[in-house]
Amino acid sequence: MTLMPVSRSTRRVHHTHRTLSSPWATVGALVIAVVWTVPTLGLFISSIRPASQITTSGWWTFFAHPQTTMDNYSATMDFVSSGITVTQALVNSLTITIPATVLPITLALMVAYALAWIDFRGRHVLFVAIFSLQIVPLQMLLVPLLKLYSGGVVIAGTQIIPGFPANSLGSGFAQVWITHAMSALPLATFMFHNALATIPVDIMEAAQIDGAGHGQIFRRLAMPLVLPTIASYAIFQFLWVWNDLLVATIFTSGRNAPVTKILADLSGVYGQQWYLLTAGTFVAIVVPLIVFFALQRFFVRGLLAGSTKG
Amino acid sequence: MQAFFSWLAGLPQLVQIPVVVAAFLAVVGIVVFLTEVAPRPGRAYTWVRLGIAIGVPVLTLAVLGLERQVLWVYLLVALLGAGLFWLDTRSKKGRGRRIQVALFISPALFFLIIGLVWPTIRTVVFAFMDKTGTQFVGLKNFVWVFSSGSSGGLTSLLNTIVWVIVAPVLATVVGLLYALWVDRSRAEKLLKVLIFMPMAISFVGASIIFKFFYDYRQGNQIGLVNQLVLLVGGTPVNWLQNYPVNMFLMIGILIWSQTGFAMVVLSAAIKSVPADLIEAAEIDGASALRRFLHVIIPTIRPTIIVVWVTISIMSLKVYDIVSVTTGGFNNTSVLGYEMVRQFSLFPPQTGHSAALAMLIFILVIPFIAYNAHSLTKGDR
């Protein structure tokens, strides 16, 4: 959202707070940890119990009579909702998420580079303008964007750019990619600008003296130097797009729906079919959890650099 | 462009990903190459610059699928390109400079204007129009937002206010206490991951997890909450049907999901509190509680505000949790959900929807302003 005033002091702290040695603190921390974990655990245990048991006895009875099955998962993967299987919905999520992560990062890097290292009139105004666009909530954009995609750009009654043809609306992903990309641009530009601005001037000047143009400096020097920031932002954008429901609800229909939308539909229509919902929730969580655990270092770093989607 | 996307939609799904990414990166590659070429000296490159200044905008229009009939738009864009070329040749800081700037910033600028600025303006206009978006109706939509009853928007506004008051405070407080309690403990890493993990889970997933947790049925309970109620001798309750309990339980889902964020950020802040400050307080005989209240809290205050503001903004815009748990029934609707619902009614209530969106926008502003204010103060 905004920059986070966390100064990472390099000083080694010899002092111990001795907080956990206080028994109340220990109890408090453990209670919170348990409360935070149990709901997920309950759903997970249910997902591996036979379907008939899930709705007739509590998941805590599992420990007394352990009986596991993977049937819920195989049934869920092939379950058809809104014309597609859950497996297909997972593929859709991937198809939506990867381009919707690459697009805004690339565009934002370019504009952020120009704002940070090319001196032109009005660049400060432009930076503040882009930065302040962060405050526009997604809700402000939905309806006009929907009209834009179907109607195109019309100026003074003249069709300038046509909309997406109606037949591709049902199966294409273009609208979802573009919507995610556009709404991510202000924050991405802001973060990349801050990262690029910390590159030492000497390095940039040395490159320029060596005869490198901005295009070359951008590709060979600036981008590699801010790679950790790019990684942090990429994780956030990936998780955000993968977990999104709002954009998916408005801009996908039927065949191109991602797994979040299918899950929301299942929850509404088959609210009592817990074998579907338990297994479905976990297959949807797997991908973000892998990303999360594999790249946790960058994730925390991104958090501290102040990147939560505004 | 339309032809490209239609063709793309016809491809096998997993092939679409590399194709669209490659196509996009190829375009970006060409643009970056042009920025490399533009500032080169020599007469030949003057022609290249002219070609770039006029050719790129005209080609972009053609690719976007400009109708052949509206030639004046092509002419206009070509003239703009020529103007850029002229300015560029007169630039004191070297030729090709302005063309480079234009190449670097215009792709993002194009998307920002088409995709953010223009839609925002349109939504503001829609907020004062009727449901077809053609007839000016003054403040009628806002009167609707503030009118009570099942058809009005007041319930969702009041609920949103409760969300914004409750969720950020609880998530921040729990996150702060937890960060403090696990700080430098033996199992710190593991204990942190347990609280942190929900951040990777979507609101949809979180809502289903908690729907199961809050489940109510005749006979054997399968939801843990009702089982606990039974254990202490109560009667199970249909939690998600009773207002306002259902709303607070839904707020609980947001708190569950965001406490990890608060905890990680605040934990880093606590660790950066200078050790001598705490030692000094200890030597002065301050108790652990006093050290916490008078040393740690004031030092990490700016971070607390940032965390609180971030979660507040999230609470203001919440949509997924309401959509999955109750679908807005039983008085649980909030602004973010009602906005979408009004638009998906038949016929779509575009005016109501736009007014609600604008209200969210207006409510977000003070939080961001306060955040910016406290940050600039912290910088000094």
Identify the three-state secondary structure at position B111. Answer: helix
Angle between helices B2-10 and A174-197 (to 10 degrees): 110
Are A63 and A150 part of one and the same domain?
Answer: no
> Which pLDDT value is given to residue A153?
78
* Helices A227-243/A274-294 angle, 10° precision: 170
- Residue A177 resides in a domain: yes
A57 band by pLDDT with thresholds 50, 70 and 90:
confident
Gap between the Cα atoms of B99 and B33, Å rounded? 12
Q: How many domains does chain A have?
A: 2
Give yes or no: residues A90 and A222 share one domain: yes
CA A217: distance to chain centroid? 29
Same domain, A57 and A199: no
Q: What is the mean pLDDT of chain A?
A: 85
**Lowest-confidence region among A84-88, B14-18, B313-317:** B14-18
A131 and A48 within one domain: no
Would A46 be classed as within a structural domain?
yes
Residues A126 and A49 in one domain: no
A278 and A222, same domain (yes or no): yes
Each residue's pLDDT tens digit, B170-197: 999 999 999 998 887 888 889 999 998 9
The enclosing domain of A241 has a CATH number of 1.10.3720.10
- Find tokens 């490659």 and name the residue: B22
Residue A238 has pLDDT above 90, yes or no: yes
Indicate whether B218 pLDDT > 90: no
| Two tokens, residue B158 | 């009041």
Supply the DSSP string of B314-353, one letter for each residue: HHHT--HHHHHHTTTTTTT--HHHHHHHHHHSSS--HHHH
- Does residue A86 sit in the same domain as residue A109? yes
Q: Is residue A196 part of a domain?
A: yes
A50 shares a domain with A178:
no
pLDDT of residue B151: 75
Indicate which of A92, A140, A260 best probes the interface with B, i.e. most B CBs within 10 Å of its own CB.
Answer: A140
Question: Which of A179-188, A299-308, B59-68, B231-240 comes out lowest in average pLDDT?
Answer: A299-308
Taking an 8 Å cut-off on Cβ atoms, the answer to whether A25 and B180 are in contact is yes
How much is the pLDDT for A1? 39
Cross-chain Cβ contact B104/A111 below 8 Å? yes
- What pLDDT, in 10s, does the model give residues A89-147? 999 999 999 999 999 999 999 999 999 998 888 888 999 899 888 889 999 999 999 88
Domains of chain B: 2-126 (no CATH), 144-379 (1.10.3720.10)
Residue A188 above 90 pLDDT? yes
How far is the C-alpha of A162 from the C-alpha of A236, rounded, in Å? 33
The answer to whether B277 and B295 are in contact (CB under 8 A) is yes
The rounded mean pLDDT for chain B is 88
What is the pLDDT averaged over residues A277-289? 93
The answer to the question of residue A3 being in a domain is no
pLDDT at residue B143 in the model:
92
Degrees, nearest 5: CA angle B367-B369-B373: 115
Return the number of CB contacts < 8 Å for A and B.
414
Q: Is residue A55 domain-shared with residue A155, that is, in the same domain?
A: no
| pLDDT tens for each residue of A164-185 | 765 544 457 888 999 999 999 9
The label of the residue with tokens 């940050």 reads B375
Q: In terms of domains, do A26 and A126 share one?
A: no
pLDDT for B66 beyond 80: no
Does some domain include residue A289? yes
**Chain A residues near residue B261 by CB distance under 8 angstroms:** 303, 308
A8 within domain boundaries: no
pLDDT of residue B352: 93
What is the model's pLDDT at position A307? 39
For residue B356, name the pLDDT band (cuts at 50, 70, 90). very high
Q: Does A103 touch chain B (CB under 8 A)?
A: yes
How does DSSP classify residue B136?
A: B
Tell me whether residues B200 and A42 touch, CB distance under 8 A: no
Answer whether residue A14 is part of any domain.
no
Q: Over range A61-87, report the average pLDDT.
A: 89
Interface of A with B in 108-137 (CB under 8 A): 108, 110-111, 113-115, 118-120, 126, 130, 133-137
Those residues whose C-beta lies under 8 Å from the C-beta of residue A271, and which sit 6 or more positions away, are A277, B211
The pLDDT tens digits of the residues spanning B266-294 come to 998 888 888 888 888 888 888 888 888 88
- Assess whether A53 and A149 both reside in one domain: no
Nearest to A179, CA basis, from B33, B114, B255, B96: B114
| CA B375 to mean position of chain CA atoms | 20
What does pTM read for this prediction? 0.89
Q: Do A267 and B211 touch (CB under 8 A)?
A: yes
Helix then strand then coil, in percent of chain B rounded to 5, is 75, 0, 25
Which of A30, A45, A69 is the last residue before a domain boundary? A69
User: Is A16 inside a domain boundary?
Assistant: no
Q: Which domain covers residue A49, as residue numbers?
A: 21-69
Q: Are residues A110 and A257 in the same domain?
A: yes
pLDDT for the residue numbered A167: 52
- Cβ-based contacts of B271 with chain A (< 8 Å): 9, 13
Cα separation, B5 vs A278, whole angstroms: 36
Q: What is the pLDDT of residue B311?
A: 93
Question: Mutation test of the interface with chain B: which of A7, A37, A40, choosing the one with the most B Cβ atoms within 10 A?
Answer: A40
* pLDDT given at position B69: 64
Which residues does chain B have within 8 Å of residue A184's beta carbon, measured at their own beta carbons?
Answer: none
What is d(CA A280, CA A75) in angstroms, rounded to the nearest whole number? 10
Residue B224 CB contacts under 8 Å (≥ 6 apart), including other chains: A38, A39, A42, A58, A59, A60, B213
Question: How much is the pLDDT for A271?
Answer: 81
